[in-house]
Structure 1
Amino acid sequence: MGRVSLFESPQDLTLAKPLLKWAGGKTQLLGEIIPKMPKKYGRYIEPFFGGGAVFFAARPENGIIADSNPELVNLYRTVATDVDGVIAQLRQYENTEDVFYAVRALDVTKLSNVEAAARTIFLNRTCFNGLYRVNKTGQFNVPFGRYKNPKIIDEDALQAASVLLSNTTIICGDYKTVLQENAQAGDFIFLDPPYLPISEYADFKRYTKEQFYEEDHVELAEEVERLHQLGCHVILTNSNHPLVHEQYAKFNVEVIQTKRYISCNGKGRTGEDVIVNVLPKPRFDLRLVPSPLPQQATLYPPTRYMGSKNKLLAEIWAVASQFEFDTAIDLFSGSGVVSYMLKSHGKAVISNDYMAMSATFTKAMVENKDITLTNEEALALLEPPIAIDHFVEQKFQGLYFTDEENRLIDVLRANIKALKNPYKRAIAMSALIRACFKKRPRGIFTYVGHRYDDGRKDLSMTFRAQFLEAVDAVNNAVFDNGQECKSRNGDAMTLKKTEPGLVYIDPPYYSPLSDNEYVRRYHFVEGLARDWKGVEIQEHTITKKFKSYPTPFSSRKGAAEAFNILFKHFRESVLVVSYSSNSQPTLDEMVSIMAKHKSHVEVVPVDYKYSIGNQGSKVGDNKNDVQEYIFVGY
């Protein structure tokens, strides 16, 4: 039988399935293993092949399979090259005890490849429990199974397997030699070695007399580490044994409840397997050459907002620009600067944030195409209205601003609410919030008074001047890029899917050494944006803050689960994620989570220095100088 491309074969490859009943086979774990495999990889390599359940389920093209048992290797090679001969030979066998023992007694070394392959299938299908056991002289000695109607010949499965195997390199040899001679960066490798603890069933596992001792498992773990460093994706299965957890502690080890089919005690036919998912070590292969940003992108009014990516825009675009996309989602827009940068590159942008303040910025400058606030309108907002509630003047007296400034804030609040055009309201509120930032030392509201006054010009300007200057800055940023852009104030976890494009994710960074509570830092201006509706001010606090919004990114476990949900939800899009080396999940954990949903994951490290925010407390190893990681999944 000649070699036929899988894509040209008339056979239905979905009919391909394991040719043998296999003690310890992975059929029952396919639902756990297959989803963990990368969507794309160089080559599929399986050096402990056995029954090949994973191989036949994955159906890779140009794979490499191997086993140390010559009879097993002969079976697969012969099915690949002469499946019709194997089928013809199988037709000569009958499911009787006499035929079984006659075939069992044959000397396999004196048989042709076809006869030996057919003998292997026949004995497997008709012997007790499909086991393979040999005595000290190497003779097969499993008794007759006494099955009434075993399926000795599955012609469709054999023909489909033949096509698949004919496009596969089949090797008889030791696993380590196979891997060291063939594995390359980007390959996927499935390892299903004899299980721990060492027992008589280790023979059944590989259809061979060869044992696999604990020291062999230690050597196997060393080889897995080499493959990890090389850049291969490895999935390994074993029993839930302490040595397995010890050897693979740095990788993701998942315990799975399974059944055992070879125990003579029915009550003992349950067990726990583990799946070790070893992702390739990030190689930082994505080389970036940041280019100057469009002039339009530089017009976005800067802020000292915690975590703002203003200084990383060139690097973020250098990553994003390598992909073709028309639509972009900025899930955690924060200051709004990345959304605006993407808009300046002509993209249709959906800008989302759970902070009303952030959504106000992007309503004014991302969603807004051409509406501005005239100078006359801005001046009119500074004039006292007929009715004013004095909320800020009374609630926050003596905390952040002078009485006069608080009174002016209340005037602006009342007049802004009276504006009919939503974009004019957004511009005016953005300007008010910006004026509050500028007039506040360090631009945060975690303390009262002015003890951090560093003499900046912004602090000496009047609030009125700051507001009018901010209106001009926001007006100057308004433009139409010819696309429909949207600003959304909501939970990123509830944003509906859109057509595939690019999704930028810059969530609150979780670190056990510092907090990521944006509301705690910016509760006053967030209250302005919400007009303190739907929030509960904590009257007992000096700062009169309100309760922070619930977020999964406030814990390591919560952050990992949230990333997994988001990556799964937007798996059809290019994923670009900003995260800090000071934060958790760790780099390897982030790569592991993203690789569940994307076939390619790259990590771009960027040296970065935080001026303020959750990296600046310098507790232990928590430094301002960090590496900002840009994770890319595609």
Structure 2
Amino acid sequence: MLSKDLQIAEGDFRGCRPLLKWAGGKTQLLEEIIPKMPRKYGRYIEPFVGGGALFFTVCPVDGVIADSNPELINLYRSVARDVEGILRHLRQYQNTEEVFYAVRSQDWTTLSSSEAAARTIFLNRTCFNGLYRVNRKGQFNVPFGRYRNPKVVDEDALRAASRLLKRTTILCGDYRDILREHARPGDFIFLDPPYLPVSVYADFKRYTKEQFYEEDHRELADEVKRVHERGCHVLLTNSNHPLVHELYSPFLIEVVKTKRYISSNGKGRTGEDVIVTIPPKPRFDIRLVPPPLPEQVRLYPPTRYMGSKNKLVSEIWSVASQFQFETAVDLFSGSGIVGYMLKSHGKTVVSNDYMFMAYTLAKGMIENNEVTLDRDEALGLLEPRKPVDHFVETRFRGLYFSDKDNRLIDVLRANIKAMKNPYKKAIAMSALIRACIKKRPRGIFTYVGHRYDDGRKDLVKPFSEQFLEAVKLLNAAVFSNGKKNRARNGDAMTLKGRDPGLVYIDPPYYSPLSDNEYVRRYHFVEGLARDWKGVEIQEHTVTKKFQSYPTPFSSLKGAAEAFDRLFRRFRESVLIVSYSSNSLPTLDEMVALMAKHKSHVEVVPVDYRYSFGNQGHKVSGNNNAVQEYLFVGF
């Protein structure tokens, strides 16, 4: 559903469409351009309006359109003032060669404004290919088109356009003057300048009176940067030319295939355009002054979980606390610390993750407000009371734990499966998972045996003690914030419901230097959480892992598309996204993606050191120190 600023030709403007055929018009690119527009903006400004394909599709409130072509501007002004007079003149014209050349020979500046506007429409609809071309004297010189039945009198389109143009500021002048006088922070500016001459564009300059050369495009880029600094949203189209990539390298540049209708070479009527997305420079200064965390947050069980934001939770709250919100979504909850922190601040929290082990922990710590697992119940789970299937003992013998520990894991599995209370069950399973991770060197399952033994006491502590200590820690963290919080296991892309006030996004980071597969590292404990239901163990692998879950964040293209979908889905919410400096998309690309859907985007850098390395021996001895970014959209 589009906002009121992006209503597409509805109500009084239904039937609104461009009045002229226009070389270089953007009709065929509308499906690419419109989704890149900001959802909300101040005024719509288009200083190279031409045929106005985007303008007449979007029908903006209080728009500003301009062009340096006075005949074109006369047309739009006349349609706004006297559409019925233009229709009367148009009905007098006949589609004959004799009438065409007689009308073409007229000097439009000697005619009334409405007759001059009718002349412009008639010549455009009946001339060859709908071109607008003038000679050095400024006289229209395109030949007769010989079309059998061109639609010269389009009453519906003209009347709808008149209603739109009546509420539009229509100016004739240089784009620099237009922007300097009218562009204000928060406005949306669409720039479709004369294209750079490349391949099929070599012919294009002949078809327009206004010509842009390299120095003109450089001046335009300077003006774009000025309005960007002032806080305007900008979309710019041009040919796929190296100079365009050079001038707008700090911003998101997308290449799209297009058809050409003006090339003299019939075989060359295809080409590539670029759409440059230039977000406004933020006008607000989000300060990173971490406030003290509530004591409740300190009770959350620490973890070595890959990507855990335990060390960043104070900085995340420092940013989040600057916004007013009551509901929040932790979209990729992982260790659950961010959702728990938001719960401790009295927010209604939805904690989501595609990993069942993460969901189980969130069920016990975030959705659960009061249920604990007392010590006697925990002790009882260590005793064989239910039939034991010996699944772990036989399937994973000799891989991760001793036979004794494997047998105990199977006993715990059987007893936990029989528990009735979902929150006690979640606490017990989370304690089992925690005990398994604590008993593994490095806390992961990408290798077998104990060759990475780091001498930690956890590795020699009995499994039963690890389990009971985990239960104690989890029990101590259970509390009520008086809200109905929820844990969800599912794809972040499919989360439905009312738009929350704040959405925190901490997805798997994509980098060509390291993988982001959580299942590969934690397949054993993820299997415990799922009881290996719905997964197929790959028996040929040494670690007996199962297939990783599909995720769009496993490739650069997939990650960019996923971010775009998420930002669009939660465009009404405050967005906070964690991402690192060694991940892709790049910082500038992330800002441009978010700016398509948010009025303001801030980047807050945070120095950070990861618990897990990024194959440091392969990356110039990387010591895991990176810059973590918090992208903030509001």
TM-score bin (small chain): 0.7 to 0.9
Aligned partners of 1:96, 1:138: CA distance in 2, in Å?
A: 24
Correspondence for 2:519: 519
Going from structure 1 to structure 2, the CA distance change for 1:354 and 1:141 (only over 3 Å counts) comes to closer
Going from structure 1 to structure 2, the CA distance change for 1:462 and 1:284 (only over 3 Å counts) comes to farther
Correspondence for 1:374: 374
Q: CA deviation at 1:317?
A: 3.7
Q: TM-score, normalised by structure 2?
A: 0.84
Structure 2, unmatched stretches of 5+, are 1-5
Aligned partners of 1:125, 1:543: CA distance in 2, in Å?
A: 71
Contact 1:603 1:629 in 2 (8 A): no
Question: Once the two structures are superposed, what CA deviation does each residue of 1:6-60 show, in whole Å capped at 9, x if it has no partner?
Answer: 99xx991334432323233222332222222222223322222211121121222
Contact 2:89 2:115 in 1 (8 A): yes
Contact 2:240 2:274 in 1 (8 A): no
Q: CA deviation at 1:612?
A: 0.7
1:280 aligns with 2:283: no
Q: CA deviation at 1:583?
A: 0.9
Contact 1:328 1:503 in 2 (8 A): yes
Question: Once the two structures are superposed, what CA deviation does each residue of 1:538-582 show, in whole Å capped at 9, x if it has no partner?
Answer: 566665544433433222223223333444455555543222122
1:252 aligns with 2:253: yes
Correspondence for 1:202: 205
The residue matched to 1:119 in structure 2 has which SS? helix
Correspondence for 1:425: 425
Correspondence for 2:53: 53
Aligned partners of 2:328, 2:257: CA distance in 1, in Å?
A: 38
1:604 aligns with 2:603: yes
Correspondence for 1:358: 358
Superposed, 1:83-232 pairs within 5 Å as 83=83, 86-87=86-87, 100-145=100-145, 150-180=150-180, 182-195=182-195, 196-197=197-198, 198-204=201-207, 206=208, 208=209, 210-214=210-214, 216-217=216-217, 219-221=219-221, 223-224=223-224, 228=228, 231-232=231-232
Q: CA deviation at 1:499?
A: 2.0
Name the count of aligned residue pairs. Answer: 620
Going from structure 1 to structure 2, the CA distance change for 1:119 and 1:523 (only over 3 Å counts) comes to closer
Question: Once the two structures are superposed, what CA deviation does each residue of 1:464-486 show, in whole Å capped at 9, x if it has no partner?
Answer: 33322221221222234444433
Aligned partners of 1:420, 1:566: CA distance in 2, in Å?
A: 36
Correspondence for 2:18: 18
Q: CA deviation at 1:315?
A: 3.5
Aligned partners of 1:270, 1:342: CA distance in 2, in Å?
A: 56
Aligned partners of 1:603, 1:566: CA distance in 2, in Å?
A: 17
Going from structure 1 to structure 2, the CA distance change for 1:449 and 1:129 (only over 3 Å counts) comes to closer
Contact 2:350 2:485 in 1 (8 A): yes
Going from structure 1 to structure 2, the CA distance change for 1:620 and 1:557 (only over 3 Å counts) comes to farther
Q: TM-score, normalised by structure 1?
A: 0.84
Identity of aligned residues (%): 67
Question: Once the two structures are superposed, what CA deviation does each residue of 1:125-184 show, in whole Å capped at 9, x if it has no partner?
Answer: 444443333334333333445656655454554444344334433333333444455545
1:587 aligns with 2:590: no
Q: What is the identity, as a one-letter code, of the residue corresponding to 2:591?
A: V
Aligned partners of 2:391, 2:95: CA distance in 1, in Å?
A: 91
Question: Once the two structures are superposed, what CA deviation does each residue of 1:390-447 show, in whole Å capped at 9, x if it has no partner?
Answer: 5545555565445544443343333323323332222112112222333444433345
Which is further off, 57-66 or 324-333?
A: 324-333
- Please report the RMSD computed on the Cα atoms of aligned residues, expressed in angstroms: 3.7
Contact 2:339 2:366 in 1 (8 A): yes
Aligned partners of 1:90, 1:108: CA distance in 2, in Å?
A: 15
Aligned partners of 2:284, 2:229: CA distance in 1, in Å?
A: 14
Going from structure 1 to structure 2, the CA distance change for 1:515 and 1:136 (only over 3 Å counts) comes to closer
The residue matched to 1:428 in structure 2 has which SS? helix
The residue matched to 2:629 in structure 1 has which SS? strand
Aligned partners of 1:480, 1:541: CA distance in 2, in Å?
A: 44
Correspondence for 1:631: 631
Question: Once the two structures are superposed, what CA deviation does each residue of 1:583-621 show, in whole Å capped at 9, x if it has no partner?
Answer: 11112222333444x243523323132341255737249
Going from structure 1 to structure 2, the CA distance change for 1:536 and 1:184 (only over 3 Å counts) comes to same
Structure 1, unmatched stretches of 5+, are 1-5
Which is further off, 605-614 or 321-330?
A: 321-330
Q: CA deviation at 1:89?
A: 5.3
Which is further off, 377-386 or 219-228?
A: 219-228
Correspondence for 2:3: none
Contact 1:607 1:625 in 2 (8 A): no
Correspondence for 1:62: 62
The residue matched to 1:604 in structure 2 has which SS? strand
Contact 2:575 2:632 in 1 (8 A): yes
Aligned partners of 2:448, 2:283: CA distance in 1, in Å?
A: 44
Superposed, 1:378-389 pairs within 5 Å as 378-385=378-385, 387-389=387-389
Aligned partners of 2:398, 2:443: CA distance in 1, in Å?
A: 17
Question: Once the two structures are superposed, what CA deviation does each residue of 1:520-546 show, in whole Å capped at 9, x if it has no partner?
Answer: 332332233233445455566665544
Aligned partners of 1:229, 1:603: CA distance in 2, in Å?
A: 13
1:316 aligns with 2:316: yes
Aligned partners of 1:321, 1:423: CA distance in 2, in Å?
A: 30
Aligned partners of 1:319, 1:14: CA distance in 2, in Å?
A: 43
Q: CA deviation at 1:335?
A: 0.9
Which is further off, 387-396 or 61-70?
A: 387-396
